[in-house]
Amino acid sequence: MSLLVLLLIAALLAVVVLVLSAPLRAARRAPEPDTPERDELEVAREAKYREIRDAEMDYRTGKLSREDYEAVDGALRAEALEILNRLEG
Amino acid sequence: MADLGRACLLLALAVCVYGIGASLYGVRRRRPEFSESGRRAVYALAGILTVAFVVLEVAFLRNDFAFNTVADTSSRTTPAFYRAAAVWSSQEGSLLLWAWLLSLWASLAVFLTRRRMRDVAAYATAILLGFGGFFISLMVFYATPFATTRPAPVEGVGLDPLLRFPTMMIHPPMLYSGYTLCTIPLAFGMGALLARRVDAEWIRAIRRFAFAAWLFLGLGILLGARWSYSELGWGGYWGWDAVENASLMPWLTGTAFLHSLMIQEKRGMLKVWNVSLVLATGTLAIMGTFLVRSGILNSIHAFGGATLGVPFVVLIGVLIAGSIYLVVSRREMLRSEHRLDSLLSRESIFLANNLVLVGLCFVIFWGTYFPLISEALTGREASVGPPWFDRYTVPLALVLVLLSGIGPVIAWRRATWANARRHFLAPAGVALLTLIALLAAGVQEKPFAIAMFCCGAFVFASIGGEFFRGVRARRAMAHEAVPVALLSLVRRNRRRYGGYIVHIGMAVLFIGVAASSSFQHASELGLSPGQSARVGAYSIRYVRPTATITPKYDAAHTGSTLSLGAVLDVTKHGRHVATLLPSEGYYASEEASQGTVGSLIGGQPVSHVSMDAGLSRDVWTAIEPDIETPTLQKIVSVGNRTLPPEDAVVAIGYLARSYLQHPPQAQFHFIVSPLVMWIWVGGLIVFGGGLIAIWPAPSAVRRRVRMRLRARAAHGLARA
């Protein structure tokens, strides 16, 4: 094994150790806490917005009658508002 | 530098072990700094394996034959492009490619999820590092790409002639990207189950990776089919080969998942189904890798060398057992939030589509693994061939294409029969007109092909109608010109219209498959120069023979010592259609018993097909020259007796000249296939549609849409 290869291996090892140990060596500070409920609500909000747009698209392209669209749209908007209220609550 | 490569593998293995431990410790003991360190282990793994890959790549490019894998798969006469790609033509190099690609995709996945669902991500990190550690262990203990021989050989064996084809070199990275991307959703799915956070967030996190896996796998499959058609001498693009099937199965379950995840996103339904699909897709991807690496089934892809079957079987067993345990033990939290509102809804169509796709996968799984199961049960090996696969997959494919035309026209949640009838009338009419036109044109045999043409026509009309209605709606709202309205429509609804384009592409592809497989004319012809023969409406005349010698004169850079071929003139109704130049390449072997001259051409001959491709048909031919004539064999045997190795190529020159002067009758495989081009065109359309569907909208647009919808939601309820 040549000296160059040895130095390269040593350098690689040093970089790896530095990278892996950095979080352990950093000053102890509390990371942002996970907010699973909020994250889930944000995902649900995006999905609900997408549903509202899809329903509108379905109506405008004639797949839903006006009565069906109004019923579905009303339900979706109610669900969306509930999600928004829970996000702000 | 081989020492550097070996050190990289050992360091990578250590990093994997550390990363698994740190991630699990961090999530179980709520020590986020350890989870973060585990996540960085993935980045470190990517860096280390990049160094290892570069070491091996440089060895190939520099013709360092001290590396066994370089000596076994490359040579000084191998063109630079093929040398660079030859890294993954060996067992060992392909394992390194697999591990490297996994580390890159895993790095991207853990980076994108670094601030969300940390507990799920920590488990996923451990699982991904587990996969990485498995493949690196194979390289460390079974098949190292950095094994060396001293003193180094002067010359290498060279690349397998079958692989000297550009698409074949790109095919493995595409396929492996697909396989490795399949492990991302699997890892996050398992992570969600382990962390007991089976909400919609993990689905959203892995959606693009699942789509990317589907795209890359599909592209890899298409490239493989193209290679088979353009390079192998049998004239087909799909033979239900075990390794072909192994890549198709995760693609099918991945397709099912991409549809059913929309139902979970919208309605909170099919949670058990979706997580099972994700786990199955990842497991099938590992099983696909197992089939190629272990040589356990007969296949053109089978790699020689030591079997890695046992470690793979253990890994697959752990994956299956672990998946079943996790899904069963978490089934209570996977309950659906809603039920189907109506059988006449897009949800129902997607469910039917899922059942067909999984059914297809099951049929192919059974037919592929049947030899193993049979041997295990009876002690005798058995196999099923293309007719068996066609019998079950063709009807299912018909249903699939039909559903791809029905789904876009049905609304989410509920649709009315009146609306459905109105929207199906035109597509059904188009399908009926197609049937009448085909029957009137005399196309009456091959009912499945006719059914596929009609289903394809139905899909075009159905989705064409969707685009028409969408553009009309867009113009009514925004008063845009038609082209602008079309662009706006697609840009604002990428998922929907990108998906529609994918459906069109699949219909085009299936039409190409149906036409080319059902209405193909194929013949075996024995011709001497000047002779002609008829194949269907085509007349083929053998104009003259061709012969080229040594790699530097071989314009196709195939590395063949000798290439014998023919010039064929193809006409139809007296009109010139094409000039074809098929040839057969003869390569050097290492069999000293063949003699100095015989060994220059004694390797596996490879057919170089010639074709005239067109929108309506391909004219394809391959040649099998007769090199066993007494005259030609006499040249070889005299050369073996009298010529030293350094002059043996002189005899090859005599052989070529004799072939040109007194060409024996050659065998030609001649095929006319209608609409083959549309298979590749359809694949490109699928790929384009997939890119549109997966492309993210600009963040500013997303914010505007979100604000507008928020206002609408509030306004509507205030009014109520």
Q: For chain B, what are the domain ranges?
A: 2-399, 416-492, 521-678
Tell whether A82 is within 8 A of chain B (Cβ): no
Give the residue extent of every domain in chain A.
3-88
Which residues of chain B make contact with A60, given a CB cutoff of 8 A? 469-470, 473, 476-477
Confidence bin at B360 (pLDDT 50/70/90):
very high
Per-residue pLDDT at B471 exceeds 80: yes
Helix (H, G, I), strand (E, B) or coil at B539: strand
Tell me which of B248-252, B352-356, B548-552 is least confident: B548-552
Per-residue pLDDT at B607 exceeds 50: yes
**Where would I find the H helices in B519-604?**
595-601
> Is A34 close to B419, i.e. CB distance below 8 A?
no
What's the pTM? 0.90
Per-residue pLDDT at B591 exceeds 60: yes
Confidence bin at B720 (pLDDT 50/70/90):
very low
Q: Which residues contact B692 (CB under 8 A, 6 or more apart)?
A: B490, B494, B497, B498, B501
> Is B423 close to A62, i.e. CB distance below 8 A?
yes
Q: Write the pLDDT tens digit of every residue in B199-236.
A: 778 888 888 899 999 999 999 999 989 988 988 878 88
Element (H, E) at B160: none
Helix (H, G, I), strand (E, B) or coil at B62: coil
Helix (H, G, I), strand (E, B) or coil at B295: coil
Mutate which of A8, A12, A16, A77 to disrupt the B interface (most B C-beta within 10 Å)?
Answer: A16
Which residues of chain A make contact with B475, given a CB cutoff of 8 A? none
Highest mean pLDDT among B85-89, B131-135, B310-314, B479-483: B131-135
Confidence bin at B703 (pLDDT 50/70/90):
low
Tell me which of B306-310, B443-447, B695-699 is least confident: B306-310
How many other C-beta atoms are found inside a 10 Å radius of the C-beta of residue B699?
8
Express as a percent the part of chain B with pLDDT over 70: 92
Tell me which of B40-49, B357-366, B443-452, B663-672 is least confident: B443-452
pLDDT at position B665 is: 92
* Residue in B with minimal Cα distance to A70: B716
Per-residue pLDDT at B284 exceeds 50: yes
Tell whether A47 is within 8 A of chain B (Cβ): yes
Q: Between A and B, how many residue pairs show a Cβ–Cβ distance under 8 A?
A: 148
Express as a percent the part of chain B with pLDDT over 90: 52
Which residues of chain B make contact with A50, given a CB cutoff of 8 A? 265-266
Tokens read off for A55: 């329903």
Per-residue pLDDT at B301 exceeds 70: no
Confidence bin at B700 (pLDDT 50/70/90):
low
Burial class of B533 by CB neighbour count within 10 A (0 to 12, 13 to 18, 19+): middle
What's the rounded mean pLDDT across residues B365-389? 80
Mutate which of B709, B710, B712, B715 to disrupt the A interface (most A C-beta within 10 Å)?
Answer: B709
> Is B416 close to A80, i.e. CB distance below 8 A?
no
Q: Write the pLDDT tens digit of every residue in A37-49.
A: 777 888 888 888 8
Per-residue pLDDT at A86 exceeds 50: yes
Q: Which of residues 49-78 of A touch B (CB under 8 A)?
A: 49-55, 57-58, 60-65, 68, 72-74, 77-78
Mean pLDDT of chain B: 87
Which residues of chain A make contact with B717, given a CB cutoff of 8 A? 77-78, 81
pLDDT at position B85 is: 87
Largest CA distance in chain A: 80
pLDDT at position B708 is: 62
Q: Write the pLDDT tens digit of every residue in B323-343.
A: 999 999 988 888 777 776 677
DSSP code, position A31? P
How far is CA B254 from its chain centroid?
Answer: 13
